[in-house]
């Protein structure tokens, strides 16, 4: 087991940019937002707690990626930016998300609240749930797990057609396993940056 813990200096260097555009944004923060920023980098803060890697099969260990700080993210020419006309995140539940409708609705409401907090300033809207059959997606039974799986690419095509005019993006949520192609065992999710669509299970 390995624990990854970043120092206060590392977090500040990664998250506080000297880009003039971002500096001007920092100066506009109100007192509460400034307090949150200052507290975020304290050793006892809950915002950036240590990450525990439980085994070598952990995703972070088995799929190494180059680090990206906030300034690199901000300067990425392919980064999509919300606009006055495209300012809403839509959540589309696909199939049942729990044993009862009440559980499914509670789960989606929780997800909506999380998205509102994380993507501060964007509207987060819920679309009426649809059965899997409405997506007309391909499916299979995984030969290893015997679980039903639906094709992630087909879900993205369905979401693209359903995407409202004011949508910054639309995300499909399902409790059914996804697979991206026949040669893959499964996938946690798939997205199209150009279409503003994503599907996760």
In the listed set 18, 50, 75, which residue is the last one of a domain according to the structure?
75
Per-residue pLDDT tens over the stretch 5-49? 777 777 777 777 778 888 888 888 888 888 877 777 776 777 777
Dihedral sign for Cα atoms in the order 200, 72, 74, 119: positive
Domain membership of residue 143 (yes or no) is: yes
Nearest to 87 by CA among 187, 195, 167, 7: 167
**157 shares a domain with 117:** yes
**129 shares a domain with 97:** yes
Domain membership of residue 193 (yes or no) is: yes
**167 shares a domain with 101:** yes
The alpha helices in 31-175, defined as continuous H runs, are 31-40, 59-62, 70-75, 101-118, 152-162
Q: Assign 2 to helix, strand or coil.
A: strand
Q: Assign 170 to helix, strand or coil.
A: strand
**63 shares a domain with 101:** no
Nearest to 197 by CA among 166, 150, 154, 163: 163
Round to whole Å and give the CA distance between 71 and 6.
18
Counting the structural domains of the chain, the total is: 2
**112 shares a domain with 61:** no
Nearest to 17 by CA among 44, 37, 42: 37
Exposed/middle/buried for 150, CB within 10 Å: 0-12, 13-18, 19+? buried
Exposed/middle/buried for 79, CB within 10 Å: 0-12, 13-18, 19+? exposed
Domain membership of residue 190 (yes or no) is: yes
Round to whole Å and give the CA distance between 157 and 153.
6
Counting Cα atoms < 13 Å in the Cβ hemisphere of 111 gives 21
Q: 46 or 160: which carries more pLDDT confidence? A: 160
**182 shares a domain with 96:** yes
Which CATH number does the domain housing residue 142 bear? 3.40.390.10
**71 shares a domain with 147:** no
**pTM for the structure as a whole:** 0.78
Q: State mean pLDDT over 103-110.
A: 85
**192 shares a domain with 97:** yes
**Confidence (pLDDT) at 43:** 66
Domain membership of residue 82 (yes or no) is: no
**163 shares a domain with 117:** yes
Domain membership of residue 47 (yes or no) is: yes
In the listed set 16, 45, 75, which residue is the last one of a domain according to the structure?
75
Query: What is the average pLDDT score of the chain?
Result: 86
Domain membership of residue 81 (yes or no) is: no
Range of the domain at 58: 2-75
CB of 149 within 8 A of CB of 178? yes
Per-residue pLDDT tens over the stretch 38-89? 777 776 777 777 777 766 666 667 777 887 877 888 888 888 889 999 999 9
């Amino acid at each position: 087991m390995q624990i990854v813990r970043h120092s206060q200096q590392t977090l500040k260097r990664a998250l506080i940019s000297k880009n003039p555009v971002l500096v001007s944004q920092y100066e506009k923060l109100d007192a509460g937002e400034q307090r949150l920023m200052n507290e975020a980098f304290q050793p006892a803060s809950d915002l950036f707690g240590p990450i525990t890697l439980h085994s070598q099969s952990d995703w972070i260990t088995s799929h190494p990626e180059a680090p990206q700080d906030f300034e690199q993210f901000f300067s990425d020419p392919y980064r999509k930016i919300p606009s006055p006309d495209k300012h809403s995140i839509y959540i589309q539940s696909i199939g049942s998300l729990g044993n009862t409708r009440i559980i499914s609705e509670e789960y989606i409401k929780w997800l909506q609240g999380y998205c509102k907090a994380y993507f501060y300033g964007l509207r987060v809207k819920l679309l009426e749930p649809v059965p899997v059959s409405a997506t007309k997606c391909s499916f299979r039974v995984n030969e290893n797990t015997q679980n039903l799986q639906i094709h992630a690419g087909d879900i993205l095509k369905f979401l693209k057609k359903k995407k409202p005019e004011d949508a910054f993006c639309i995300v499909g949520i399902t409790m059914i396993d996804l697979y991206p192609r026949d040669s893959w065992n499964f996938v946690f999710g798939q997205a199209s940056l150009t279409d503003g669509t994503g599907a996760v299970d």
